[in-house]
Amino acid sequence: MIAYRLHYFPESGNSYKLALMLRLCGQPFEGIWTDFGGGVTRTPEWRRAVNEMGEIPVLEEDGVKTTQTALILRRLAARYGQYGGSDPEEVLRWLIWDNQKLSGQMATYRFLRTYTKDADPAVLTFLRWRVDDCLRIAEARLADRAFVMGDEPTIADISMCAYLSFPEDETGYRLADSHPAVQAWLGRIAALPGWKSPYDLLPGERLPRYDR
């Protein structure tokens, strides 16, 4: 059995992707809470010792550090024969879109909106417009499918659901009203055996909030 150690901070949707995948595959992991708010990932020491890219999450597999959730999700899916889907290239297409667009922009919007003291309103407006478009795309994709790839959940769902799984007072979106197909899909993901919410899987000291 591989010993997993996940370097994370609780608000990190990217960390949640890996925590949820491990959990759904029945794999225990040790969480390494990381002082992201204190700036540790920006220090040369951390970058030298943990991740030269300065990013959370980092997953250690028997002591070997690996990064980039899309890559890791694909590896875990192959290793455990779960959530890989029947068309790996199409799954990868959605993983790339999620990294660059849905997660990438939602993460930045939520961080500015909820965890940044003096966020520029013009930047917030721009990012919200970008997230709105991503959600429109997700809503259309899920209007007539149970999951992103069809009837079965895959790592594309695990990746795309992450930042939408946080409370609405953090994301600023009441999806049940604005994007009902996305909300219904999140409900189907939450019904998967073993599912847990982000803060149940990723406990620990939280970032200070600046609610608007």
Ligand X SMILES: N[C@@H](CCC(=O)N[C@@H](CS)C(=O)NCC(=O)O)C(=O)O
Question: Which sign, positive or negative, has the C-alpha torsion 161, 165, 170, 171?
Answer: positive
Distance CA 133, CA 101 (A): 9
- The 70-109 site mask, x for binding ligand X (CB under 6 A), equals x----------------------------x-------x--
Question: Does 12 sit near ligand X (CB under 6 A)?
Answer: yes
Q: Which of 56, 76, 127, 148 binds ligand X (CB under 6 A)?
A: 56
Q: Which residues contact 101 (CB under 8 A, 6 or more apart)?
A: 130, 134, 137
Q: Which is nearer to ligand X, 41 or 147 (CB)?
A: 41
Distance CA 57, CA 158 (A): 15
Q: Which is nearer to ligand X, 184 or 207 (CB)?
A: 207
Question: Does 55 sit near ligand X (CB under 6 A)?
Answer: yes
Reduced to 3 states (helix: H, G, I; strand: E, B; else coil), residue 181 is helix
Q: Which of 6, 14, 21, 102 binds ligand X (CB under 6 A)?
A: 14
> Binders of ligand X among 32-51, rule CB under 6 A?
41
Q: Which of 6, 7, 69, 201 binds ligand X (CB under 6 A)?
A: 69
Structural tokens at position 73? 């999700």
